[in-house]
Amino acid sequence: MKTPSPQPLRPDPRLFNEDLAPAPERKWGTYSIFALWMSDTHAISNYAFAASLFVLGLPAWEVFLALLVGISIVYWLMNRMGHAGHRTGVPYPVLARASWGVYGANIPALLRAIMAVAWYGIQTWLASTAVVLLTLQIAPGLEAYHHNSVLGLSTLGWIAFLLMWGLQAVLLTRGMEFIRKVQDFATGPVVWLVVLALAVYLVVKAGGDISLTRSLNGLSGSEQVEQSLIAVSLTVATFLTLVLNYADFARFTPDHRSYRRGNLIGLPVNFTAFAVVAVLVTAGTIAVFGEAIYDPVKVIQKIDNPVVTVIGALSFIVATIGINVVANFVSPAYDFANLAPKHLDFKRGGMITAVLAVVVMPWKLYSSALVIQYFLGALGAFLGPLVAILLVDYYRVRRGRIDVDALFSADARGAYYYRRGYNPKAVIAFLPAAAVAAALALVPAFGVVAPFSWIFGMALAGGLYALVCRGDRVASDAGPIPEDIIPSQVRTAAGEEPGIARGSGVAAAPVPVEGS
């Protein structure tokens, strides 16, 4: 007599909806991952960072070398996190359940979400300032509406901010597949065209008389080394937010080559090339305007051509939307959905993000050095420890052996239930590491090592977690870390359970096991 196959484990409705379940479709190929990084790296902040290093006094070749080293470290980290995201097919807050517990994962998820909400609001407001610039260029008569103040914004400022808020809300609540299509053809490539045009214009205007080899401020050799090391560290620190939640994107890739090649082209290659152009434009402003201008919006204003101003403003509006999608929207949408999956899906989590981004009045956040340095700075210091715990758990403790179905089980006997749904070992590793990293980042006495605080936090958290979990490690003779997609039956099981919440994903279907 044939033995009947076991029934799939039904996911707990407190932990499951279709948006949090393993990805049913995997359409993010190499170009989509590359476009993802174009959307993120082509931000005004990244442009200004590269340009400011040149203005600070580093020769151009040292700027490129420092940024290449930093982004190569980011590339390595992204591939490590991408491996876990691709194989499990689940977003970051669900993946974090393996190390933090099925309920404990809300701790790192909320820390990431709070930071993302703040920066989502700030980026939306920054984009709205470009809208104001564009509006006044087209209709100077509206200047009168730009001098009053309602809760810190002028009437024109409020209209521009709410316009940008509404446009993003429409775009971002259409789901991940729609986001992929928009970034593939709009937010990624458009800024490249504008900054390349700026570079060509300035080189021609300067008659080719642009130097990329001399130091503008004559820094000594030791000062150049110091600034280069800081540049390497800050480059990595800037991307730690996305390292943490990279599973949100890698889960949609069809094979390992897709995210690895997309990461290679989009990070070391594209990021460094963008830095080259940023420095070239900045050097061009010295030759043409007699001063170093490392804000591309101000460069466009200097050209004093209405057509250039309109095109430039539109491009940077699109760029800001791109970075908001990648860095500040997708993650909190999943993070909030993870709080109450039965009631919140990706779209509702995204709307919570968008609403909170207005409530925090981001123009006031951005104008407060205290908030930026101490509140957001302290949260940023937590990122290194969170990344370390996730990676040490996946690579050293479990060696890639994740039971995906158990990530959705609230059974007290489940693999990731630990103690009432929380893993005390993750907390033990995180708290002292986060405290050390925050102290190094914020206490003036440690100013010399502040740019490197994430390294100390990551090393301490990773070491502590490996130590307290030494008895839980998968035996080394279990073989290498697997490459295949981990099979899961939670979607099939959820289809048999009438009480399970439905998300905004496409039709549920089991994901076939495939290699790379």
Concatenated DSSP letters of 451-487: GGHHHHHHHHHHHHHHHHTGGGPPPGGG-SPP-SPPP
Alpha-carbon distance of 124 to 129, in angstroms, equals: 9
Cβ atoms 437, 233 nearer than 8 A: no
Nearest to 227 by CA among 65, 109, 10: 65
Alpha-carbon distance of 254 to 31, in angstroms, equals: 12
Alpha-carbon distance of 163 to 168, in angstroms, equals: 9
φ/ψ of 436, rounded to 5, equals: -65, -45
Cβ atoms 252, 23 nearer than 8 A: yes
Q: Is 463 left (phi over 0), alpha (psi -120 to 50) or beta?
A: alpha
Cβ atoms 412, 405 nearer than 8 A: no
Helix H or strand E segment including 147: none
Alpha-carbon distance of 59 to 236, in angstroms, equals: 21
| Residues contacting residue 226 through CB under 8 Å, at least 6 positions apart | none
Concatenated DSSP letters of 264-306: HIIIIIHHHHHHHHHHHHHHHHHHHHSS----HHHHHHHH--H
Q: Per-residue pLDDT tens, the chain, 516 aa: give them.
A: 344 444 556 899 999 999 999 999 999 999 999 999 988 887 777 777 888 888 888 888 889 999 999 999 999 999 999 999 999 999 999 999 999 999 999 999 999 999 899 889 988 888 888 788 788 878 889 999 998 989 999 999 999 999 999 888 887 777 787 778 777 776 667 778 888 888 888 888 888 777 666 666 667 778 889 989 999 998 999 899 999 999 999 999 999 999 999 999 999 999 999 988 888 888 888 888 888 887 777 788 788 777 777 777 777 777 777 778 777 889 999 999 999 999 999 989 999 999 999 999 999 888 776 676 666 667 778 999 999 999 999 999 999 999 999 999 999 999 999 999 999 999 999 999 999 999 999 898 998 998 899 999 999 999 999 999 999 888 666 788 999 999 999 988 877 555 555 554 433 333 333 333
